[in-house]
Amino acid sequence: MFPNIGVDLLYLPRLSTLLRRRGTYLHRFASRILTASELTTFQQKLHGEDISSVVRWLGVRWAAKEAAFKAGGVGRRLQWKEVEVRYLASGQPYLTLPREGITGGLSISHDGEYVVAMAMLPPEKGTMAEWVKGRREEAVAVHG
């Protein structure tokens, strides 16, 4: 069985315009899409880095979570705070879905004004068994 794959491309100036147009919108936006631990990191970055770095950091999370939603499929109906972007000690990113107790693959790239993220999640619960059953039925039909 192949993992579910989702991809998202984000144009950073669009996000930057959105976040700068209203006084407190940056904080409301972050509170809406970030998990508690991501929000803590966001607060630290906000006080220690320039705004363009903060926007890029948020953009990476936005794109990664959007990609995860696409990889999640219709049945999962993931919410913003149910997906968290984490990093291994090596710097490799990955996703966690704590509610489901699973992790997923994540690849992130950013260059200039763009961020792209590709997420890979295991199939929805129940889907794997249905898929295997279907393949067995096909094998029996073909091979007798």
pLDDT tens across 75-87, in order?
778 899 999 999 9
Q: What pLDDT score does 95 carry?
A: 95
SS3 content of the chain, % helix, strand, coil (to 5): 55, 25, 20
Characterise 22 by phi-psi region: left (phi > 0), alpha (psi -120 to 50), beta (else). Answer: beta
Does residue 33 have a pLDDT over 50? yes
d(CA 123, CA 114) in angstroms, rounded, equals 29
As a CATH number, domain 4-143 is 3.90.470.20
Tens digits of per-residue pLDDT, 6-25?
A: 999 999 999 998 888 766 78
Please state the pTM of the whole predicted model: 0.82
d(CA 25, CA 95): 26
- Are 107 and 101 in contact by the 8 Å Cβ rule? The answer is no
Q: Where are the domains of the chain?
A: 4-143
Percentage of residues in the chain having pLDDT higher than 70: 83
Asked if 114 and 11 touch (Cβ cutoff 8 Å), the reply is yes
- For the CA atoms of 62, 63, 68, 70, what is the dihedral angle to 10 degrees? 120
